[in-house]
Chains A and B, each alone.
Chain A
Amino acid sequence: MTKSVRRTINVELLNRLRDVLGGRRVSHSHLDLLNYARDLWPRSLIDVSRGELHHLPDLIVWPETTEEVSRVLRVCNEMRVPVVPFGGGSGLTGGAQPMCGGVVLDTKRMNRLERLSEQSMLAVCQTGILGAKLEAELNRKGFTMGHFPGSLGTSTLGGYLATRSAGQAATLYGKIEDIVVSLQAVLADGTVMHTRTAPRRATGPDFNQLFIGSEGTLGVITRAHMRIHLLPETRAFRGLVFKKLSSGLEALRLLMRAGVRPAFVRLSDEEDTAYTMNALGLEVKGCLLVLVFQGRQTLVELENEMAINICRQAGGRDHGDEPAQHWFSHRYAEYYRQSPIFADEGMIIDTVEVATTWSNLEKLYKTVRTALAKHVTVLANFAHAYPEGCSIVFTMLAKPEPDDGYKLYDKAWDAALNATLKAGGVISHAHGIGLLKNKWLQKQNPAAFALWRGMKKRLDPNDILNPGKIVLDGEAAC
């Protein structure tokens, strides 16, 4: 009956894991396996719409402590069973798909904000905590972590760390690698390792960075010390419109150079302004730049004033606070559109998020945009601005023919990432590699890729941790 393959239960594995966790926190229910067979990679929307889920795990486990994670990994390592660490399953690249079956290790029962140090401005968290829950807990106590990805309601801290996530306020608070201070990770053989909590260090290479972005292939991150900030005293909103995209980009670059740090930045190209912003109820022509400043009143007022002056000098027309305020209050709305777009219009929506330096930004934009536009409708915005450069988020809207399957989707991605490499960009700014981008990762930097393979072999000689991801090609790893 089922179009998904049922796997044979490994009774010894089941019993050993039950010995570790008890019966209630180990599942081999076929229905659970189906719900752990996909993450939010839009490609799997096609699969689930047809009732075809191809990559089911054998078991799901819910450890509650680092010690339990360690014991689970020891069992799996001894038995050479793949383990896929799983937070919210909100990744967009197939990174949490259990390509080779095995055990899905769901971290969401490790979900506590364990301690908050007001003196050192640190939050000590288990990594299975959902972003929205963590932020709500911190807000209640007067703090924020400043990390607001679009997936905030469904993604976990561990997921952020494992994929090098960026939030909408990354320009002010940094990406997740800037927010984490130290972490605890469990290696494939069950060894628990910690990095020491200190503001900065000069103790050799930074082992935090070994695990951040490793997408569950080198270890399971179970606890982290995260930087926190006081809740903002006030916010200021500004919307400015530029006739030309290049003027808007120049304004953004000058803001960064002047040390002005809006928390939220989004410069839309003309198409994004027309489609996305107008869908949010903003009737604007041209390229809309929204800026949201937050923090201490005096600083916010000063930065807002500086930003208006810089943007005006670069050719921006000041539209007051309303466009930015409106965008801010609807900033998660675009993520809800995925369902009607797919269910009602038969279209797939996905985002290609790349980054480069200011000097190369327009070239990257034009090259990728041209390549993508041959296959799909393209909109673009520039968010997450930094002193050195900026990310570009291309939104693609693809309408595959009924029998097309993945063809159109895959062609668009091929075109986008080939163009990104050709134009000197990096193939991901914040969503990670997973199954989607590993082919291009190798091309992006062959020497680094070889080094990565070596580390993987050293840290996980039996290749049990999330096999097929980042450095190996999907099913070929199984």
Chain B
Amino acid sequence: MLKKFHKEIEYCTYCPKLCRFCCPVGNASGNETLTPWGRQTLLHLVGEGAIKWGREVALNVYRCTSCMLCREYCDHELEIPKVMEAARIKAVQDKVQPQEVVEFKNFFSERGNPMGDDLQARLRSLLPASLFNPDAQVVYFPGCVMIYNYPQTIKNTFRLFEAMDVNYVACYDAEVPCCGVPLKDHGYHDEFVENAKKLEAKLKNAKVIITGCPSCTYTLKTVLPEVGVQLTERIYHMSEFLAPLIAEGKLPIRRPYAKKLIYHDPCYLGRYLEVYDQPRNVLNEVCREAVAEFSWNRNKSYCCGGGGGIPVTNPVMARDIARERLAEVHEGSKKSLVTACPSCMRAFEKADDRVEVLDIVDVLARTI
């Protein structure tokens, strides 16, 4: 089973668990099974015929946030989330995936997105019709989590464009509102490919795509080509698009942002896309005080608990992971958390209503 990942499985099984301290699921649960070592040991034992592959083993492969922090502490640079992803695909093929996952996928299939609402209608109600130009070459792709949870951030995005005289960006009309990453996260490979093809039809003319969500950026840019869907190569996260414009002084800052902020690196923006400086540069241009750092930052940033489908399969664990990350925000002087990912924002807000959580776009919009 999973022969392609033989090295990952064997190396982890025989490793002295050297990455375990950074695994958010392992830390939140305290359970040996829910560490990279424990999950890989189970896959090894399946390969040895010591245990059967089935629902119980599959349940454990769904307990990974895909945060990839373990790779940063692995001298062999093993990418365990990729093993988990392959195991989830097999779980779906063998119909041994957890029931919550089946229900989630059915919900997605019925509604066309993971939120359940008519996201296209929601998006269109937010912005003037003139911003939805199907022939535009530069397209803003907000992503389903952003449309459903953070409409104001989308409005703020276009306020910023207007303030910087960026008049060539059109908003994607969200007929297919989701990049498909939740399907991929849950092991629904065929459905992910189907969604990718639909996206291809909608986005094939775009020369530049800007997204509001790092997992959308990564999926459109890196994962879609792996399944044969090649969009433009010029796909950027909002922070990458904004950084040079702001550095050139295009943003008319009327009042610098005065409150204290701490920046959280989203896993997809950081470890997956290696975008660390741009969000910081953008914030430091507009903030009166230097933006604070978590002690676990940049490529060592700790997960928010919102990835890998964990909020669906284990919401209590997702909450505990977010709270572990937020503990540092509560130390010292009062501060707001700023990040660049709507899934991180949602995970933090659900875990702790005492913390103000902002997108970098919201911070910038408050300065103009």
What is the interface of chain A, defined by CB distance below 8 A to chain B?
A: 1-4, 27, 29-32, 34-36, 40, 45, 48-53, 60, 62, 88-90, 106, 108-109, 111, 128, 130-133, 136, 139-140, 150-154, 332-333, 335-336, 338-340, 342-343
Contacts and interface: CB of A to CB of B under 8 A. Distances in A.
Contact of B16 (A1, A4, A133, A151): A151
Contacts of B50: 1-4, 34, 51-53
Contact of B14 (A106, A136, A339): A339
A153 B12 CA distance: 14
A50 to B, nearest CB: 7
Contact of A34 (B10, B21, B45): B45
Contacts of A27: 31
A34 B41 contact: yes
A475 B136 CA distance: 74
B30 A128 contact: yes
Interface string B57-79: 10010000000000001111000
A336 B74 contact: yes
Nearest to A343: B10
B103 interface: no
B94 to A, nearest CB: 16
A1 B57 CA distance: 15
Contacts of A151: 16
B20 A154 contact: yes
A62 B29 CA distance: 9
A51 B49 contact: yes
A3 to B, nearest CB: 5
Contacts of A153: 17-22, 73
7 contacts: A1-B50, A48-B13, A52-B50, A131-B21, A140-B295, A154-B20, A339-B10
A31 B56 contact: yes
B11 interface: yes
B20 A88 contact: yes
A336 B75 contact: yes
Interface in B28-59: 30-33, 38, 41-42, 44-45, 48-52, 56-57
B168 interface: no
Contacts of A340: 11, 76
A49 B10 CA distance: 9
B129 interface: no
A181 to B, nearest CB: 24
Contact of A35 (B22, B41, B56, B75): B41
Contact of A343 (B14, B16, B42, B52): B14
A335 B60 contact: no
Interface in B80-121: none
B241 interface: no
Interface of B: 7, 10-22, 27, 30-33, 38, 41-42, 44-45, 48-52, 56-57, 60, 73-76, 295-296, 328
A240 B75 CA distance: 27
A35 B42 contact: yes
Given A34-B51, A343-B10, A338 B16 contact: yes
Most buried by A among B13, B14, B42, B60: B14
Contacts of A32: 31-33
A89 B52 CA distance: 25
Nearest to B9: A343
B17 A154 contact: yes
Most buried by A among B13, B17, B19, B73: B17
Given A31-B60, A136-B295, 12 more contacts: A30-B51, A34-B45, A106-B30, A153-B20, A153-B73, A154-B16, A333-B75, A336-B18, A336-B74, A339-B13, A339-B76, A343-B10
Given A338-B14, A338-B15, A31 B30 contact: no
A31 B14 contact: no
A2 B11 contact: no
A132 B32 CA distance: 16
A343 B51 contact: no
A48 B296 CA distance: 34
Contact of B18 (A111, A128, A133, A154): A154
Contacts of A53: 50
Given A31-B57, A338-B14, A154 B30 contact: no
A31 B31 contact: no
A339 B33 CA distance: 19
Contacts of B7: 343
Contacts of A111: 27, 30
Nearest to B26: A108
Given A31-B60, A106-B30, A336-B75, A154 B21 contact: yes
A167 to B, nearest CB: 15
Contacts of A34: 41-42, 45, 50-51
Most buried by A among B7, B41, B74, B328: B41
Contacts of B11: 339-340, 343
Nearest to A3: B50
A53 B45 CA distance: 10
A35 B73 contact: no
Given A31-B42, A130-B21, A338-B16, A136 B296 contact: yes
Contacts of A136: 295-296
Contacts of B13: 48-49, 339
Nearest to B56: A31
B201 to A, nearest CB: 43
Contacts of B51: 1-2, 30-31, 34, 51
Most buried by A among B21, B27, B49: B21
Nearest to B316: A24
Nearest to A334: B75
B32 A335 contact: no
Given A30-B51, A133-B21, A336-B74, A35 B38 contact: yes
A51 B76 CA distance: 24
Contact of A30 (B12, B41, B56): B56
A333 to B, nearest CB: 6
Contacts of B57: 31
Given A50-B48, A339-B11, A343-B11, A332 B18 contact: yes
A88 B20 CA distance: 9
The 4 closest A-B pairs by CB, nearest first: A51-B48, A51-B50, A108-B30, A336-B75
Most buried by B among A338, A339, A342: A339
A464 to B, nearest CB: 22
